[in-house]
Amino acid sequence: MLLAIDVGNTNIKYGVFDGENLVASFRVSSRINRTADEYGSVLVGLLADRNIQKSDIDGVIISSVIPSLNYTICHMCEYFFNLTPLMIGPGVKTGLNIKADNPKEVGADIIVNSVSAFNKYGGPLVVIDFGTATTFDVISEKGELLGVVIAPGIKTSLEGLVSKTAQLPMIELYAPKSVIGKNTKDCMQAGVIFGFAGLVDNIVNKVKKELGLNDIRVVATGGLGEIISKEVKTTITVDRTLTLHGLRIIYALNKA
């Protein structure tokens, strides 16, 4: 079985694959001050709950956007599973032609999502990741990563709003019934959800215009993708396991 690990700014996602089938997935918070033993003991417990033993894991691949956690997670894999993980980075085969000024600047999460989406849906397409940051990966019909748009994340924006104001509370994120709010919670929900829906439509329309396309497939991943997809004019396919499957594809490519 393959253990795929996606280290994000907010959460670490684990996926276990038996061949091409995702048989289990877990999510824990990303904390720099946790040790390899802490991460490992939690992961082994989660695996055991799904009747997966440490000995069942025969390969590990990691995508990380937190360099300071890389050693900890790699050490966990070596100590608990006796495996050296494949880390997404320079030298790893992805099959993706990156058209950036400096390809080394492109985040591992963007590469993995792009590989996964193009492999599953073809191109041209826009891949949106509603994570700590909101990213739009633009991929050509030939599988080239033409470029990326990076905007603040939805929760990141909300947390910034709450932390910088004295009277606005932290709220649950879902679409209110009306764009015109009658109370603080509805006002904030309308601004965040409908505001980001407008952001998505505007950026996708500008991408289509710049590429000279009448239409383009849009795929979204990340926790809030389903909420935003219901509030936009753009047709969006939500794929919450996009990143994990991208890691599986890249692992298979390098193993071969």
Contact between 63 and 251 (Cβ < 8 Å): no
Both structure tokens of 217: 């497939």
Residue 136 phi/psi, 5-degree rounding, is -120, 110
Q: Is the dihedral of CA 177, 178, 182, 186 positive or negative?
A: positive
Tally of CA atoms within 13 A in the half-sphere of 225 that contains its CB: 23
6, 109, 129, 137: the active-site residue: 109
DSSP state at residue 238:
E
Is 109 known to be catalytic?
A: yes
Q: Is 221 exposed, middle or buried (0-12, 13-18, 19+ CB in 10 A)?
A: buried
In angstroms, rounded to a whole number, what is the distance separating the alpha carbons of residues 120 and 76? 31
Which are the catalytic amino acids? 109
